[in-house]
Amino acid sequence: MKNSSVIDHKCINCDAVLKFSPHTQTWNCEYCKSVFTKDEIEENEKKRGIEELTRDSEPNKVENVSGIDEYLCPNCGAQIIADENTSATFCIYCKNTAIIRNKLIGEFNPSKIIPFYKTKEDAINKFLGLTKGKPLAPSCFTSKKNISEIRGVYIPFWLFDYELKGSINMLGTKVTQNYIDDATYVKTDTYSIHKEANVSFDKIPVDGSMRLDNTIMNAIEPYFYDKLQNFNHSYLSGFYAEKYDVDSNTAEYDALKRVYTSTTNIMKRENENYYSLNVISTNHTHTRTNCEYVLLPVWLLNVKYKDKLYTFAMNGQTGKIAGDIPLDKRKVVLYSITIFILFLVILSLFWFLFVKSA
Amino acid sequence: MKSKIKYIVILFISFFLLSSNVFGYYDKVDNTEDKIYDFGEYLTQEEKENLKIKIDKYISTYNLDLVIVTKKDYPYSSMRSYAEDFYDYNNFGIGNTHDGIILFFNIDSEGPCVYIVTTGEAIRIYDDQRIDSLKTRMSNQKSNGNYRMIDAFIDALDSYASMGVAPSNKDTYIDKNGDLKVVRHYPFSIVFYSLLFTLIIMLILIKKNKILRKAYDANNYFDKSEYQILIHDIVHTNSSVRKIVHQSSSSSHSGRTGGSSVHVGSSGTSHGGGGGRL
């Protein structure tokens, strides 16, 4: 079995590069238009002698200079340079997908993957429609020419499952009013509430990449996990991929903060017949029941506008896009003045017509 | 025959109602220049002449009409209606808004009582506080006789008229219908509220551009099927009751504008004033 540093996927009919199609969830040859299913791809790889990447696979020796790895393209032999976190990239000469073996084996072998369901065109169209309903956005911001880079990337994520024993102490009040003669009697009853409950959370995602902003990754949630597939490196064809550089113990901190907050909110939410409800103290304990390392699809767009770079991310499964749109300062001033004058005129008219003459 | 009698009765009642004014009874006078109508016969001729001189001077100085009417044993509860109707239906008052004042002086079984009715600009000059003061001035002369009481009334009227509009009515005016209105200055709070609403709307529009939101909870990943409440203790710790007494508004006035209580008479004219026992 071949054990090369870089893996690619070739068409068995014409030996051209195969790319995964999000639309059809198949592998397509751009030259001879052949289409292959997952089973056919696996069969093809067996025939070509390409090994399956697992946690138990032995790593290759690779030239590494200050965090940069060097590989040879299996298609054209050109040098491929990749940083230490890149697990799939492209040859800049022949555009062949280069899947880097060492970054996908052993501890870096993902257990699951959600393939791309949205294409590059979907990402561009979503971006172009971003400023709809946003009057303060610059008119020319969402223009194709502003997109300096667009990449489909498989981002490393940790998925955490937790079981919590939630414990909460609250102070609640109930208010009743009675009207007798010329007086209102307001009765306030105070209650001390203690609650304990079992609370479970499944597959809370935390991205395992240091260079990606967690806020952006949060903003494109959720992913639908019923589409999780067993990992196969073939899905990476035509896309970039990264391995994690934030381990599960570090990433867990973010997940726990969210889980503890939710537990308190869930336990508080059920007591809705109180006039006021204040949390006095909580004492939750948790058990991590599962932790999975997966790859999730994201389209990353870098947009250059007035010498500033803006990053947008689109969920490669659902199409949900996130990213802050800049404000057009001139529009902000214009809208402020217009709205102010409008209110001034309307309120003044109202006063002249109905209040002054009353 | 029966139907003829019915028509005659209806005609008679209509004539009576129309002549007596549907809502009240008043005496019709032929000469509105007299200004003093002493139906109660409390004043001698000399006293009337003395008062008339003061009244004429008052009218020419302040351009306000002044009428004195007296009666004996008139029902106290109807004094206001009588005074208003006497003034309105005898066409007293100066100008389009019938500016002026009428004093209805009456002595019944309980003693002297008065009702003072103001119309037009007189409403602004004689606010409720000044009306009370006029009654007090008259009351102070009770032991000196009816003439002295009315004389003191005219002196007090003159004194207040020389001061002009009562301070409590400085932001009022009499409109073309004779109604007392409050002068409403353009409220600069409109500018404040316009700014506030503009700020709220701009914040909403700016927020639309901020799509990025950090996730603070994991509600999307909560497994409802596994949720199980183990303990839910509720202990009643305290009870308190607060009483809020509602202030009831006075029902003795028809309405209050500025510093004067204003009432609309049967003729549709607005009047101020007040009355009571001396």
Tell me if chain B has a CB within 8 Å of the CB of A335: yes
Report the chain B residue with the minimal C-alpha distance to residue A190.
B238
Structure tokens at B221: 């990943």
Structure tokens at B239: 């009870």
pLDDT of residue A63: 55
pLDDT of residue A58: 66
Q: Is the pLDDT of residue A4 over 70?
A: no
Locate the domains of chain A by residue range. Answer: 6-109, 120-327, 329-358
Beta pairing partners, A88: A99, A241
Least confident of A45-54, A253-262, B141-150, B215-224: A45-54
Residues of B in contact with A327 (CB under 8 A): 206, 209
The string of DSSP codes covering B197-261 is: HHHHHHHHHHHHH---------GGGB-GGG-EEEEEEEEEEEEEEEEEEPPPPP-SSS-EETTEE
Yes or no: say if A145 and A346 are a contact pair by the CB < 8 Å rule. Answer: no
Residues of A in contact with B222 (CB under 8 A): 199-201, 262, 266
Q: Is the pLDDT of residue A5 over 50?
A: yes
Q: Which helix H or strand E contains A219, and what residues bound it?
A: helix A214-219
Mean pLDDT of the region B196-218: 89
- Asked if B202's CB is within 8 angstroms of A332's CB, the reply is yes
- Architecture of B26-182+264-277 per CATH? Roll (3.10)
Residues of A in contact with B238 (CB under 8 A): 189-190
pLDDT band at residue B3 using 50, 70 and 90 as cut-offs: confident
Report the chain A residue with the minimal C-alpha distance to residue B201.
A339
Tell me if chain B has a CB within 8 Å of the CB of A275: no
Q: Is the pLDDT of residue B25 over 80?
A: no
Count of pairs with CB atoms under 8 A, one residue in A, one in B: 173
CB < 8 Å from B in window 113-152 of A: 133-137
What is the spatial distance between Cα A149 and Cα A127, in angstroms, rounded to a whole number? 12
pLDDT of residue B124: 95
Mean pLDDT of chain A: 86
Yes or no: say if B156 and B139 are a contact pair by the CB < 8 Å rule. Answer: no
Closest CA to B267 of B83, B126, B65: B83
Yes or no: say if B106 and B74 are a contact pair by the CB < 8 Å rule. Answer: yes
- Asked if B230's CB is within 8 angstroms of A198's CB, the reply is yes
pLDDT of residue B194: 95
pLDDT of residue A257: 94
pLDDT of residue B85: 93
User: Bigger pLDDT: A220 or A84?
Assistant: A220
Mean pLDDT of the region A74-86: 78
Tell me if chain B has a CB within 8 Å of the CB of A62: no
pLDDT of residue B153: 95
Report the chain A residue with the minimal C-alpha distance to residue B245.
A183
Mean pLDDT of chain B: 87
pLDDT band at residue A324 using 50, 70 and 90 as cut-offs: confident
Q: A192-243, pLDDT tens digit by residue?
A: 999 999 999 999 999 999 888 888 889 999 999 999 999 988 899 889 999 9
pLDDT of residue A214: 86
- Asked if A187's CB is within 8 angstroms of B241's CB, the reply is yes
Residues of B in contact with A134 (CB under 8 A): 205, 208-209
pLDDT of residue B46: 94
- Asked if A332's CB is within 8 angstroms of B213's CB, the reply is no
pLDDT band at residue A122 using 50, 70 and 90 as cut-offs: very high
Q: Is the pLDDT of residue A334 over 60?
A: yes
Structure tokens at A48: 């070509």
Alpha carbon of A217: minimum distance to chain B alpha carbons (Å): 9
What is the spatial distance between Cα A177 and Cα A171, in angstroms, rounded to a whole number? 20
pLDDT of residue A3: 45
Convert B76-85 to b/e letters by CB count within 10 Å (16 or more is b): beebbbbbbb
What is the spatial distance between Cα B175 and Cα B182, in angstroms, rounded to a whole number? 10
Q: Which helix H or strand E contains A261, and what residues bound it?
A: helix A248-269
- Asked if A348's CB is within 8 angstroms of B186's CB, the reply is yes
Q: Is the pLDDT of residue A116 over 70?
A: yes
Tell me the ipTM for this assembly: 0.80
pLDDT band at residue B260 using 50, 70 and 90 as cut-offs: confident
CA diameter of chain B: 106
Q: Is the pLDDT of residue B250 over 70?
A: no
pLDDT of residue A76: 77
Mean pLDDT of the region A23-47: 84
pLDDT of residue A283: 95
Q: Which helix H or strand E contains B270, and what residues bound it?
A: strand B270-277
pLDDT of residue B5: 77
- Asked if B231's CB is within 8 angstroms of A194's CB, the reply is yes
Structure tokens at A280: 């006095």
User: Bigger pLDDT: B236 or B13?
Assistant: B236
Which among B206, B220, B226 is the nearest to A198, CB-wise? B226
Q: Residue B108: count other Cβ atoms within 10 Å of its Cβ.
A: 15
Yes or no: say if B105 and B270 are a contact pair by the CB < 8 Å rule. Answer: no
pLDDT band at residue B23 using 50, 70 and 90 as cut-offs: very low
User: Bigger pLDDT: A8 or B76?
Assistant: B76
pLDDT of residue A64: 55
Alpha carbon of A261: minimum distance to chain B alpha carbons (Å): 6
pLDDT of residue B22: 43
Interface test with B, best of A136, A139, A180, A352 (most B CBs within 10 A): A136
What is the spatial distance between Cα A59 and Cα A74, in angstroms, rounded to a whole number? 18
Three-state DSSP at B15 gives: helix
Mean pLDDT of the region A153-175: 95
User: Bigger pLDDT: A342 or B277?
Assistant: A342
Q: Is the pLDDT of residue B133 over 90?
A: yes
3-state secondary structure B100-147: EEEEEEEEECCEEEEEEEEECHHHHHCCHHHHHHHHHHHHHCHHHCHH
Q: Which helix H or strand E contains A148, and what residues bound it?
A: strand A147-180
Residues of A in contact with B206 (CB under 8 A): 136, 327, 332
Mean pLDDT of the region A273-285: 93
Alpha carbon of B60: minimum distance to chain A alpha carbons (Å): 33
Mean pLDDT of the region A2-31: 78
Please state at what angle helix B146-163 crosses helix B45-62, rounded to 10 degrees: 10
Interface test with A, best of B176, B185, B195, B209 (most A CBs within 10 A): B209
Alpha carbon of B75: minimum distance to chain A alpha carbons (Å): 34
Q: A47-79, pLDDT tens digit by residue?
A: 777 666 777 776 665 555 555 677 777 777 777
A145 Cβ contact partners less than 8 Å away, ≥ 6 residues apart: none
Residues of B in contact with A270 (CB under 8 A): 229
What is the spatial distance between Cα A334 and Cα A328, in angstroms, rounded to a whole number? 10
Burial class (CB in 10 A: 0-12, 13-18, 19+), A8: buried
Tell me if chain B has a CB within 8 Å of the CB of A196: yes
Mean pLDDT of the region A99-120: 88
Cis preceding linkage at A222, omega within 30:
yes
HSE-up (13 A, CA, CB side) for residue B277: 9
- Asked if B197's CB is within 8 angstroms of A216's CB, the reply is no
